Amino acid sequence: MKNNFTFELPEWLKHKKIDLNKSFTDSEKMEFAISLSKQNIEENSGGPFGAAIFDMETGKLISVGVNIVIPSNWSCGHAEMVAFSLAHESLQTYDLSLKGNFELYTSAEPCTMCLGGTIWSGVKSVVCAARHDDIQKVGFDEGPKPEYWWNELENRGINVRRDFMRDQAVQVLNQYFNTGGEIYNADR
């Protein structure tokens, strides 16, 4: 039995030139998350989802994530979970709120797992592009979650902004579907 766990980011992402001193605007943050999802499918390195965590005061990038479920053989390899894991490692904390105020920008609303991960990550804000229905329309199973899931986050002090640049994110989902990207669901 193996006694440790690691995951690898796609090669293109490991070598992507990112200015870590740049202060991103809100639009640039979401454009960045969506661009990660788009490049992930163009590089054939995972599903059509991208996420990034930013410092709320400075607008600087803390971590990135793309969907790596298939190449990593890891059902938890969703973009948000990868971004959370890398932020926790980078900041050396299990709770991001202990190190400052951070926000998650994601190309799609969180699935059931990522909703839980968001609650426990310590982020103070979540900004989403594509909706649950957009994701399910192309075939992904997002799992059961409360109908008004954003209220659950807001009740815990996490601000939620939905539908930010939704059309651009939906285009990437449709691109993935139209080019025959693998739709993986546990109940197949």
Tens digit of each residue's pLDDT (9 = 90 or more) over 70-86: 999 999 999 999 999 99
Active site residue 80: yes
Residues in the chain: 188
Pairing outcome for strands 102-108 and 61-66: unpaired
Q: Is the pLDDT of residue 66 over 60?
A: yes
Question: Please, what is the angle between helix 112-121 and helix 79-91, to 10°?
Answer: 20
Which of 11, 42, 57, 80 is the catalytic position?
A: 80
Classified as helix, coil or strand, 85 is helix
Q: For residue 123, which of 169, 154, 168, 163 has the smallest C-alpha distance?
A: 154
Task: Give dist(CA 109, CA 38) in Å, integer.
Answer: 16
The answer to whether the CB of 35 falls within 8 A of the CB of 92 is: no
pLDDT of residue 186: 64
pLDDT (mean) for 135-152? 93
Tell how far CA 187 is from the center of its chain.
Answer: 22
pLDDT (mean) for 20-28? 95
Task: Give dist(CA 81, CA 51) in Å, integer.
Answer: 9
pLDDT (mean) for 167-183? 95
